[in-house]
Structure 1
Amino acid sequence: MPLDTHGAAPGLAAPTLRRQALAILCVNDAGEKAAATRRMRQAADAMAAQAIGIGIEESLHAGLPLPGRPLLPELVPPQRVERRRSIHTPAGRCALIHALAHIEFNAINLALDAIWRFAGMPVAFYLDWLRVADEEALHFTLLAQHLATLGARYGDFPAHNSLWEMADKTAGDVLARMALVPRTLEARGLDASPPVRAKLAAAGDHEAAAIIDVILRDEVGHVAIGNHWYRWLCAARGLDPVATYAELAERYQAPRLRPPFNLAARRAAGFAEDELAWLDAQAGQ
């Protein structure tokens, strides 16, 4: 019987948090996925943490291709994504807001995937990624609503799939996932957000600039969660975090990060000084 993302399947006990996350990950409609994710967090918050049925040791298997996504936007290789137009034009501003919305839609999927895919982690791991999923759903909703005020909607522009492609690569190892999604790809947002915000404000789109403020504030916390669980896993496996990150980045062909880096935000998100020094050294090569 299919799971009801509003609650329990008819006649059955409430599905575990991990089962709910998998069910929502399979939802195709972007708006419904965001809304269902927010309902899941609200339901969890209404209960004491110990009362939440997480299903930590459950063996789960996806019965559908992941992630669920709408027919549009068309997914194309990154080099085929149209070059950004001037954001001082309505079309250029729509294209930028759409690109940001696509990132946040993928971020919902990534957080949901972390919840359902990786069994055997501490309870706090699942609650942390539930918080991330909820906040990414809020970000997507804010951007999609703002895009509508500009006369466009999510799906109107082509987009690329690089974020989910890294999720696929790291599906077999939670350590690699923590290293290369929140600490690498999502951390790039810490660097990119201030200049994007400045451009939007300069173009007179103060509503979009305010949304970027919300996103940057929350993304510091999301990257901090990735840092925490990456270090927790390194400690559990007896691994050096800096050397292990370098090895994982090479093995999984993670994109090389380019300056300028938002060092204040990265420090706030928990990057250690030796990690920032390694990042700076790699950027200089």
Structure 2
Amino acid sequence: MAAEFLADLVPFIIVGFAAQLVDGALGMAFGVICNSLLVGVLGFPPALASAKVHLVECFTTGASGISHLAHRNIDKSLFFRLAGAGVLGGVAGAYLLSNIDAAIVKPIVLAYLAIIGLWLIVRGVLYPPEAKPARFVAPLGAVGGFLDAAGGGGWGPVVTSNLLVQGVEPRRVIGTVSAAEFFLTVAISITFISQIGLADLAGATLGLVIGGVCAAPIGAYAAKRIPIKPLLIFVGVVLTITSIVGIVTALRG
């Protein structure tokens, strides 16, 4: 019985490990990678996949936020503007996704993930971005939170990349966005639990947590060794292809 349970966890451990490995090296993409694989490859309903991913991220983003706080990587002003708007957008996105027919929303979610993949490719090609003054922080947080919940991921690619393009100091961007994401994921998880219950979140969630925790130290090491530009392009290509395959499968089904 125990062996069978462990065997069922293996695919999710692999997904969590791969996603956290990339996220640790890149500072983003855990959510979009996990969600695209859960929805596009393993066939999970979008709301359930997003709920599982965000519940896992409560652990990973909490640890990340504390680490960035200890290293003084957080801009307090930027944090409060992002976190408040992000929570509101995330709750709205989670509520909407939980109350829409999965068969209808699945191709839409995968299309969104494919767009994020293409954006990562473009950002990789154009990296490093041109420095510009930061603007529209609160609206960006609201949009990023909504898309993160409704699409099962995207807070990092949407918010982090936008702030970097606007010229905010990279260390402050990554630290502040990571810290704000903890409150976003907690709010989104609570909303999903209130809408779809807690029972269906077991099993796969444990596997994702195990895989993510195991990969965390390796991802941190990889951040010092792997150039950002080719990694952005690689993640974008994988995410785009996975999402397109999922769209074709969903439309045929």
Q: Give me the TM-score of the superposition, normalised by structure 2.
A: 0.32
- Bigger share in helix: 2
Q: Give me the TM-score of the superposition, normalised by structure 1.
A: 0.29
Q: Which has the higher contact order (CA 8 A, sep 6+)?
A: 2
